[in-house]
Amino acid sequence: MFNSDGMHVLDVRRGHRKLVITVETASDTTGCRSCGVVATGHGRRPVRAADAPCFGLPVLIIWLKRIWRCAEADCPIDTWSETHVLIASRAVLTSRAVSWATDALAHDDTTVSALARHLRVDWHTLWRAVKIEAHSRTSRPGRLSGVRTLGVDEHIWRPSRRAQSDRAITAMVDLTRDEHGRLHARLLDVVPGRSGTAYAGWLQQQLPEFIAGIEHAALDPFRGYANAIRDELPDAVAVLDAFHVVKLGTQVVDEVRRRCQQATLGRRGHKDDPLYKIRGLLRHGQEHLSQRQHTRLDAGLEAGDPSWEVTVAWSCYQQLRSAYASVNPAEGRKIAEQVIDSFPTCPIPEVARLGRTLRAWRQQILAYFATKGVSNGGTEAINLLIEKTRRIAHGFRNYTNYRLRILLVADGSRSYRDRPNHA
């Protein structure tokens, strides 16, 4: 029941809000590590260490640690203590407790302070032990092997005006799919800064085998990351994230709507204004609109868009969306090419600006249709885990601790959920 090889339980009692277990080792013979002479017992010393909780109670282990004495008079070693893997020398936490706390931080969306309360130890005591275990797990050999699709994104870890210089990080994510086509995104590493230099610097530190194995690199429309991929991953295909491309179209529709609102009414939109009332419908895909919503949309455009600019911008947005909604990649690519070629000549300035942006990213946009839909969606999912960890901890001040915590949480070891929950 105690489940520790070489130890047996002598006593179990209920202490003050904790369970006290007294144990000792079964070893009764050992030799001196210096001269090899059979040692004699020299008494026992109680050693206390917190163990993983049991039966809803904190557990305190009292190990009656054996003291050995060398019988050889000329041996330089006089006495020494026995050792065991469960409780290291001078440790106040068992290795099982450290592993339990580290697993909880990785899978259970909890905090160090909550785990320290369950173990009845101080926050610093627990984190010093967990930090060593976390560093061992996140730096194990071969952790970066098998990466074929690499994603990158920025994240704000210190949303404070006093720390503008180091408030952002660049996160690298493994977006490789398994043999069943499922994506198990995992965080590979983070580096301070949001720049192409930060991303390129991390890539330069990796082994040649890692660089050679990258086939696709997903990114947001940020030229710094694109330059890093061009310089450090010359054989990888850069793919612009579909969500961010569609988001650019959504922003154009909003900008045109606000401009037309100002031109027709001389003010920003109010809740009863025709265009303002349909601002949410303008962001939807037309294939998702019901007949009633189509009627509301047509009525709002007819009443609030005399110049038809919002209508044209909305049609352009729907055309951009249809490229990614197409089931056939060849058909989707054809639509995307038409969008990229036609939008720059649109008389609506916002749509023309979008067209120039898409034309500048033409190669990365069209790569989406040749790579079976590689995107940064998994990277955004990792960002949600990172942000949840930061919120649960009420923020971080130490970057090293923050990095270890998010590498634990987003290491890809959480079980894959085939179906949504019912929350």
Distance CA 154, CA 241 (A): 14
Distance CA 130, CA 409 (A): 13
- The pLDDT assigned to 164 comes to 60
- The pLDDT assigned to 165 comes to 64
The number of helix segments (H) and strand segments (E) in the chain equals 15, 10
Which amino acid is located at 133 in the chain? Answer: E
Domain coordinates in residue numbering, the chain: 7-137, 149-240+395-402, 242-370
- The pLDDT assigned to 1 comes to 59
Blockwise average pLDDT, block size 10, the chain, 423 residues: 83 90 85 81 90 93 90 83 88 95 93 95 96 93 91 87 74 91 90 93 94 95 95 95 94 93 87 89 91 93 91 95 92 95 94 96 95 92 93 91 94 69 53
155 beta partners: 169
Task: Please give the distance of CA 253 from its chain centroid, rounded to a whole number.
Answer: 32
Tokens 């369970």, residue? 19
Terminal Cα-to-Cα distance of the chain (whole angstroms) = 36
DSSP per position, 66-127: EEEE---TT-S--EEE---SSS-TT-SB-HHHHHHHHHHHHHS---HHHHHHHHTS-HHHHH
13 beta partners: 20
Distance CA 53, CA 18 (A): 9
Distance CA 166, CA 153 (A): 16
Name the 3-class secondary structure at 337: helix
Query: What's this model's pTM, rounded to 2 decimal places?
Result: 0.85
- The pLDDT assigned to 53 comes to 94
Angle at 69 between CA 63 and CA 72, to 5 degrees: 165
- The pLDDT assigned to 419 comes to 61
Distance CA 155, CA 168 (A): 6
- The pLDDT assigned to 422 comes to 54
Residues 6+ apart with CB under 8 A from 290: none
Distance CA 104, CA 91 (A): 20
Continuous segment of H or E residues that includes residue 11? strand 7-15
**Residue 423 exposed, middle or buried by CB count within 10 Å (0-12, 13-18, 19+):** exposed
CA distances from 127 to 2, 105, 188 (A): 25, 11, 22
